[in-house]
Amino acid sequence: MPDPLLRIEDLRTHFFTPEGVVKSVDGVDLTVTPGRTLAVLGESGCGKSVTARSILKIVDRPGRLVSGRMLWTRPDGSIADLASLPPTGPAIRAIRGREIAMIFQEPMTSLGPITSIGDQISETILLHHPISKAEAKSRTIAMLRRVGIPDPEARIAAYPFQLSGGMRQRAMIALALCCAPRLLIADEPTTALDVTTQANILDLMRALQAEDGMAMLFITHDLGVVAEIADEVAVMYLGRVVEQASVDAIFHAPRHPYTRALLRSIPRPGSRARLEAIRGSIPHPLARPAGCAFAPRCDQAIPGLCDTTPPDAYPTEAGSVRCHLHA
């Protein structure tokens, strides 16, 4: 395996609210390698999007990165700890959008509503490259054509509300890739799209990744998408990674009870068996269990251990798992 492009160690991002401290990300460890796709999987509210925003230092108030390290390998081979960089300083601004880019979940709320698609992409190019406006416009047209937008010479003057959902998502991908980043973070980029458009967008992202050799951190809660696009999978639950392994190991030999429960809840073609729901619900963020966060919903929980002691991460043949059953 190549050296890691991004290594996240014990990342903690908390939200300080009047009701108490919400530990949205509470000790996350992740490794992203060049040219490969790491899918971050989990139910809504498990901390996937906050982890992604923490990497780029764009967590909204009252959230704050409390501790941890995010070791990023620069193009010259030097290592930068993103966690130590000021969120509005020149160092992170040189990385954000240029070396690490992000596709947000809903392009209609992420793209500027009163600025044309072309101007938004050109502005990003001009911010990171010392070129003329004419050359930036030419690159913008080429990028829109590359992501499959028809008649890009005319589309550069279009506003987001004038594009369909699939076209807006393609424009968002063009905006993210216009500076050829080494890492692309995709935060549920196909959630609001129909099935056909979703398949087209996934095919496009795989093709662009193969052409550019970039790494991808793909955030989703769709196991079908994970099976199609991922090389490795990290399963999150209530702010922590409970299992990380190759995509084959996750689907064929899952180790954590939560991962197994997620897989049992997938509809299977031709089967009339009743789907198995995960009993209970995610604990309230301000009332986290004392031990393993999944223990109140786990059928294999060990009384006196799982409900009192948080489990460590134990190595497996294909990765790691955070569960007392594998101690």
User: What pLDDT, in 10s, does the model give residues 38-65?
Assistant: 999 988 888 899 999 999 999 988 999 9
Are the CB atoms for 42 and 236 separated by under 8 Å? yes
Strands annotated E in 109-190: 183-187
Surface-to-core class of residue 307, CB atoms within 10 Å of its CB (0-12 exposed, 13-18 middle, 19+ buried): middle
Residue span(s) of the chain under CATH 3.40.50.300 come to: 1-99+182-271
Compute the Cα dihedral for 268, 232, 70, 218 and give only its sign.
negative
pTM of the model: 0.89
DSSP string spanning 250-268? HHHS--SHHHHHHHHTS--
The domain 1-99+182-271 having CATH identifier 3.40.50.10440: the answer here is no
Q: Would you tell me the crossing angle of helices 117-128 and 165-177 to the nearest 10 degrees?
A: 10
Apex CA 27: angle with CA 22 and CA 243, to 5°?
Answer: 115
User: What pLDDT, in 10s, does the model give residues 98-121?
Assistant: 999 998 877 777 788 889 999 999
Are the CB atoms for 14 and 66 separated by under 8 Å? yes
Q: Which of 8-12, 222-226, 273-277, 295-299 has the lowest mean pLDDT?
A: 273-277
137-146, 188-197, 274-283: range with highest mean pLDDT: 137-146
Residue that has been written with the tokens 């054509």 in this structure = 145
Q: Which of 60-64, 197-201, 227-231, 237-241 has the lowest mean pLDDT?
A: 197-201
